[in-house]
A and B are shown apart, each in its own frame.
Chain A
Amino acid sequence: MADAPAFESPVVRSYPASRAGDLTLSDESAVTKWLVRAGAEGPTADLLDARFGTSRLTPGDALVLGSRPGEWIVVGAASEVAAAVAGLDRLEEQEFCSALDWTHGRAMFRVTGASAPRMLEKVCGIDWSDHMTPDGAVVSAPVALVTCDIARNDRDRVRSYLIFCDRSFGQYLFGALIDAGNEFGLSVAAASAS
């Protein structure tokens, strides 16, 4: 089998950020992402064990997001994602299911900081309060008019959100997030390995 092509981020240039606060934005598009589709209820749903609108960490620290009814995104280190979806092969006689490596097709950004909800409120119509979107919540909604999957994935009790969009919108969305976050002192961080 041919080697996978080297990953190239959709973000090829950044923009000036104010860097005065605790809000950080990082481009984590290189992290391995898989899309799994199957019936909303069935053996695949049982195996992945993340209902629509929720997420969970596997024992190997891959993040499974219930992004839509019958649709999951698995994110994490390549080996851990492979381990999380490996069991799907055993289900092929019970249910039709597809699993696709989405790493090159989707951009992924992480916004972290106490001001992250206020920043997202500027570009997205979702209620980011704790009782509506607690840690682990997953929603699909337009961010700066780009349809995205957004997962709340707090880091050390600090608000943090993963934002996924089609690769072709990645550069635009990255700039739009910087623009929205500048008034909260956004800084653009180096991508973390997760």
Chain B
Amino acid sequence: MLLVPCPNCGPRNSTDLRYGGESHARPDPNTASPAEWRAYLYLRDNPAGWLRENWYCASGCRRWFSIERNTATNEFRDPPLPGDKRGGAA
């Protein structure tokens, strides 16, 4: 079982959440080139190691949050605090 530390609900089974993919900063729509948009939409780093990613607490607080997970060991670090908006879509 993968326990994901939700900032509002505490550690929850990953089946209570939805994975939202890697967390990337959205390019500025006024200045981004097509290549930057393509990279934002379709390209993923997919590292074997630490990765910042988005999760949606679907069965709990229904809030998005972003957190760092080691994709090789499934450890989590830098859990956000309640109300922290980093990386997550509202």
Contact = CB atoms under 8 A, between A and B. Distances in A.
B60 A52 contact: no
B59 A69 contact: no
Interface residues of B, number: 14
Contact of B16 (A40, A53, A68, A142): A142
Interface string A103-127: 0000000000000000000000100
A125 B60 CA distance: 12
A140 B59 contact: yes
Nearest to A52: B8
B82 A69 contact: yes
B13 interface: yes
Interface residues of A, number: 11
The A contact surface, by secondary structure, is strand
B83 A140 contact: no
Given A69-B8, A69-B82, A125-B13, A141 B62 contact: no
A125 B61 contact: no
Given A40-B83, A52-B8, A140-B9, A69 B61 contact: yes
B32 interface: no
Contacts of A141: 12, 16, 59-60
Given A52-B8, A139-B60, A140-B9, 17 more contacts: A68-B61, A68-B62, A69-B8, A69-B61, A69-B63, A125-B13, A125-B16, A139-B9, A140-B61, A140-B62, A141-B12, A141-B16, A141-B59, A141-B60, A142-B15, A147-B58, A147-B59
